[in-house]
Structure 1
């Protein structure tokens, strides 16, 4: 499938934010759920919207490309929202900022990747994600999650309390393996268009959050800042890739200030 293949955009009625409220739209990562943001939300006074993404329980009929999902999510957002995403959610959030800048008043990316620039590298990544998708379909969810959790990217999570790790694993195991396979095929890094050239033109304030023990994504964030001067980089010491899990207080602090409201995200 071509990366970022454009399709006719569907029209949705955009929600209007409550008068005077600061709205945060939060996009979870791969194998995540809206409740993945709960530890951050508990330290925030903003009004939150935490939509599900393709392959994770979203109503996403007709979505066939990365940009299709970007457009679908953008059409559910009020204009001028603070948009935050983690990992896969950060890649989608960046896509929204590039394609629908009026929707985004502020962009906050946690462990984000602006996309692969080399077509051969993207093709290799698509092949890798296809192999993962087939493993999900043939072996089921638990063996896949076992391998996923063993990736070095998530090694710092093994220092977390057992109860936190168990709850995180339960969220991962709550998904349909066939839908996760669809997510890998449509939203994988190799299926995403590269946005490096679009970074200097982003009109909204941009913050990047990375863990001090996540060297790959710290290097990507430092390059992002070099390409787009004025971007704010937050490096969280002692944390790895998933700051929503490992350092929710740091994420909440980066998202402040916010307006009072206690609207729960759907599970």
Structure 2
């Protein structure tokens, strides 16, 4: 269902829960959508209501022409407006990759609305200035690719980058399903997401992790060496966090190893008060 926030409509799947259970809100990664979590919902402890949001520029949510709607502050504001319409004082927020950065950005700004945080293959941004600028330049090249070549060619390119190489072991029908799902996003939304909320563009959050008091679970795939290294370090910056590494999985553990991923989430959920 489409929910009006301060400046855009965001799609929430399957809709607003009745408020009888704690709410677990999932946020997808770049080129994804709320639908990428549908196979995870049935595997989660039924004591929780699972919902997933399409970020601005993705899925059925609005894709404004201005990149201002895609900044970290705008996305945080949009999520705030959405979460305040849910029948819960606090939510458990789970984000994957770009969605993890969005979840963390929100949690830093509105910690009183977070019961717990789950970050899959996410980072707090980039601290080093030269690294940030290099990432921004790389994202600008990707934006040009999207706008000149179109969504079809870009999605094909994106699914074949090194970060997702471990997914080549997945059955062909799952990969085709992923490709078709990603094609439903439009090039305006994808390009603006890179411009407004790329890893180099977002404010880095390393310095504020120690202020977060709620429980946090960091999940990475063992084959994703870069993000496993990042998370093995930042886990110590949180006051109350654990880092679990899923064997034989890459960047997208919830796609590659859904049963193990869900089991780790359930273990974490069971540990909450």
**Contact 2:70/2:192 (8 A) holds in 1:** no
Give the number of equivalent residue pairs: 249
Partner Cα separation in structure 2 for residue 30 and residue 86 of structure 1: 9
Partner Cα separation in structure 2 for residue 218 and residue 209 of structure 1: 8
**Contact 2:117/2:217 (8 A) holds in 1:** yes
Partner Cα separation in structure 2 for residue 187 and residue 179 of structure 1: 11
CA shift in 2, pair 1:60/1:169, >3 Å = closer
Aligned to 1:264: none
Q: Which has the higher contact order (CA 8 A, sep 6+)?
A: 1
Q: 2:62 aligns with which of 53, 59, 62?
A: 59
**Contact 1:30/1:88 (8 A) holds in 2:** yes
Q: Does 1:72 pair with 2:78?
A: yes
Moved more, 92-101 or 246-255: 246-255
Give the TM-score normalised by structure 2: 0.85
Greater strand percent: which structure? 2
The CA RMSD over aligned residues, in Å, is: 2.2
Aligned to 2:220: 210
CA distances 1:32-83 after superposition (whole Å, capped 9, x unpaired): 0111001111212221221111211423656252221112112211431110
Task: Say which SS state the counterpart of residue 241 (structure 1) adopts.
Answer: coil
Q: Which runs of 5+ in 2 are unaligned?
A: 9-14
Give the TM-score normalised by structure 1: 0.87
Q: Which runs of 5+ in 1 are unaligned?
A: 1-8, 260-267
Q: Does 1:97 pair with 2:107?
A: yes
Aligned to 2:22: 22
Shift of 1:243: 1.2
**Contact 2:104/2:124 (8 A) holds in 1:** yes
Aligned to 1:265: none
Partner Cα separation in structure 1 for residue 70 and residue 252 of structure 2: 27
